[in-house]
Chains A and B, each alone.
Chain A
């Protein structure tokens, strides 16, 4: 009997160790060879006669591309990179989201501010509501395919580069591009191409995402294990797989449906953990939660933006700018008050892959914090997982009578009524809402808003991932997720107290009884 038991015990431990020893995971990532090779195009564009000439405008370059790559513009025009719109059916209603329509709590909205915002559009000349989305000449091939690193669109040029040397904000110099050289050196997009726009969203490095910034141009393994220059050196498009110019992936800041996403599981086939308990966690915990322990690890990201404080000038009438010791702007008279953070611990939410947005036409409750986008999900929702997010908070303008958010006109000439020239919120609101074709009561206030940005980049090496007690402890990272029982974090204080009393009674009783036995000298 004893032997049988010992054998079963041993085999049990052995089986357990087998599980624990199951090392290594299957990675379905085949891009390594193919894409790294493809970084160099099969055609040497320098040898093409069509490109051995000088170009007077970027449109001429586009037409030269079209000469061989005919009909590619149709692909481009079908993508959100071109349309900036994402129609979706939400609660039975057709709603058009996308960059074009959405309201955020950075520079707020596109309408009436086009030339500034559309410097990141893959087209030329979207300077107001009349842009012709069918004109193939206007497609900007170079911003994605430039491999010289010299092609730059001017920040306020509605997507155009400059035609002569120009200073931006009196600081940064922009040069007219050498189109011939650039055209002869085109290739597939690298991290720098995507980064031109995606690292600098919100008007500066890492302002928006927190996990997308210029450090990803040549990151170390500590910053990003996938893109590490001294490691896998993956490109954006290794994960954001592209088919007919449609790039997989989209952000819940501008879209709501759970479609066309990139998943860790696309490359990392289950099981990925040697430990079964960890593997089971993936049912309710997104990979990102543990594997992105912090974000903005190289440079700070903006966490707070209070527009209500904008418009302060010193006694000489000069706009106030306050920069802190770390070189971050704490205040800018054009934009208001900021807070920056580096090495940020994410906040966590239940997220089932769908989001809801507060549209500019929606009625808001200004007594409460307005969630510009809301990630849906809860513990009870079996499709929801715990996700790490950057929550961007701030204050922005709203219509205090109609109880709607306001699209202000920020950018433009003084006559246009732009806030950045007149510092008159009422005027900016009137002009902005006019351009959007929406009503404005003439009364405004500032309301606190929140925006949720799920994190996907800056994945660390496995040894830097979260450990059990980051969540399973009294000071859990998941303190805000209170709709479920989390071992190690939760307990019933009453039960614990009763339990301790029970144990103390047992010990106390025994000691007392024993002492009496000793004193009365009974055995």
Chain B
């Protein structure tokens, strides 16, 4: 399995999340005391602090909305029906067999479809209902003065109480589901530190490996522009030619890599490639650093950008050692 450490929760997200968690838990504790379920803070304090916490919650929500809009993070909560079944299957069966998570988490898509749906419901429905019913509750007399008539407080209170139950149930579910990450604690650690080991798909792995391979290959790599100037080479190319840094060659004309009598052959090959041909293999004699001679096998092909040939690239393998061996023989 391929994984990578990713910064998955920004500082604000973590701050927002834990402040929200603390506020909701406190609102639930004080709220259910107001509801008459138990005595904890003392009724007067419960009411007073419930009201203060409610205001703090509202401020937090305003900040969070601002953050979500400006960062575009809101897109994550847009529900999708893709993979919902797969995700359900995973929680119901796969998880017990250590099957892989059916959906993967990235900075841009942290939430699996089930989470998306739950949080979407939470943010679009439960929390707004709770906040709106809460403020109607708080300003019940004033809403009447404004002419907003409710038959009695009971409707508002019932809605608010219902929302409170849903939120408390959510807390329990949510805390449990937070343990279903890669390990029991990986999600929770991520929400604290911001970093998480994220699984990579094979495509991602390939994508990642691809440029790396060219850079670190033992084959020399080169790229010339249409005029024959050297635009890129890799470490192996430099080694084969005897250079120590790319600055020494990049930007110079490719003719410096040949004896003067071989230069026309190079130009002719460039012209053929720019016309669309490929050179499968050819042995050439080069001129390395300080005029050091050598011989290598070369490939060449046109490089396209938006259907236009912008240059020639290819690989080289040193043949000097083989030649020396042959000579010895």
Chain A positions within 8 Å of B, measured between CB atoms, are 1-2, 4-5, 8-9, 12-13, 16, 20, 275, 277, 280, 283, 379, 382, 467-469, 472-474, 484-485, 487-492, 495-496, 498-500, 502-503, 505-507, 509-510, 513-514, 516-517, 520, 522-523
Contact = CB atoms under 8 A, between A and B. Distances in A.
18 contacts: A5-B59, A9-B59, A275-B44, A283-B141, A468-B43, A469-B43, A472-B36, A485-B152, A487-B36, A491-B35, A492-B158, A495-B158, A503-B172, A506-B176, A509-B173, A510-B172, A516-B96, A523-B182
Given A2-B11, A5-B60, 9 more contacts: A12-B55, A277-B47, A280-B141, A468-B44, A492-B161, A509-B173, A514-B176, A517-B96, A523-B182
A40 B15 CA distance: 71
B157 interface: yes
B35 A487 contact: yes
B165 A503 contact: yes
B165 A499 contact: yes
B98 A523 contact: yes
B48 A502 contact: no
Contact of B95 (A474, A495, A517): A517
B174 to A, nearest CB: 9
Given A5-B15, A498-B165, A488 B36 contact: yes
Nearest to B182: A523
Nearest to A494: B158
A279 to B, nearest CB: 11
A500 B59 CA distance: 30
B36 A473 contact: yes
Contacts, number: 123
Contacts of B36: 472-474, 487-489, 491
Contacts of B81: none
Contacts of A517: 95-96
Contacts of B157: 485, 487, 490
Nearest to A484: B152
Contact of A513 (B43, B44, B175, B176): B176
Given A12-B56, A499-B161, A523-B98, A506 B153 contact: no
A469 B183 CA distance: 47
Interface residues of B, number: 49
A516 B35 CA distance: 36
Interface of B: 11-12, 15, 19, 34-36, 39, 43-44, 47-48, 51-52, 55-56, 59-60, 63, 67, 91, 95-98, 141, 144, 152-154, 157-158, 161-162, 164-166, 168-170, 172-173, 175-177, 179, 182-184
A484 B97 contact: no
SS of A interface (majority): helix
A85 B141 CA distance: 39
A68 to B, nearest CB: 55
A2 B168 contact: no
A507 B59 contact: no
B169 A503 contact: yes
A379 B144 CA distance: 13
A467 B44 contact: yes
Can you list the 6 inter-chain pairs with the closest CB atoms, starting with the nearest? A499-B165, A510-B176, A485-B154, A468-B43, A506-B169, A506-B172
Contact of A1 (B67, B96, B158, B165): B67
B172 to A, nearest CB: 4
Given A502-B169, A523-B182, A488 B43 contact: yes
B289 to A, nearest CB: 54
A490 B154 contact: yes
A495 B162 contact: yes
A488 B34 contact: yes
Contacts of A9: 56, 59
Contacts of A523: 98, 182-184
Contacts of A2: 11-12, 15
Contacts of A500: 165
Nearest to B161: A495
A517 B95 CA distance: 7
A12 B52 contact: yes
B47 A468 contact: yes
B92 to A, nearest CB: 9
A473, A510, A516: residue with the most chain B Cβ atoms closer than 10 Å: A510
Contact of A379 (B47, B48, B152, B170): B152
A103 to B, nearest CB: 36
B242 to A, nearest CB: 53
Contacts of B168: 499, 503
A1, A469, A487, A514: residue with the most chain B Cβ atoms closer than 10 Å: A487
Nearest to B155: A485
A491 B170 contact: no
Contacts of A492: 158, 161
A44 B39 CA distance: 63
A495 B59 CA distance: 30
B179 to A, nearest CB: 7
Nearest to B181: A523
B173 A510 contact: yes
B150 to A, nearest CB: 10
Contacts of B56: 9, 12-13
A503 B161 CA distance: 13
A502 B47 contact: no
A513 B158 CA distance: 31
Given A468-B43, A485-B154, A488-B36, A277 B59 contact: no
Contacts of A505: 169
A12 B51 CA distance: 11
B60 to A, nearest CB: 7
Nearest to B60: A5
B142 to A, nearest CB: 9
A1 B63 contact: yes
Given A275-B44, A499-B165, A517-B95, A12 B35 contact: no
B172 A522 contact: no
Contacts of B172: 503, 506-507, 510
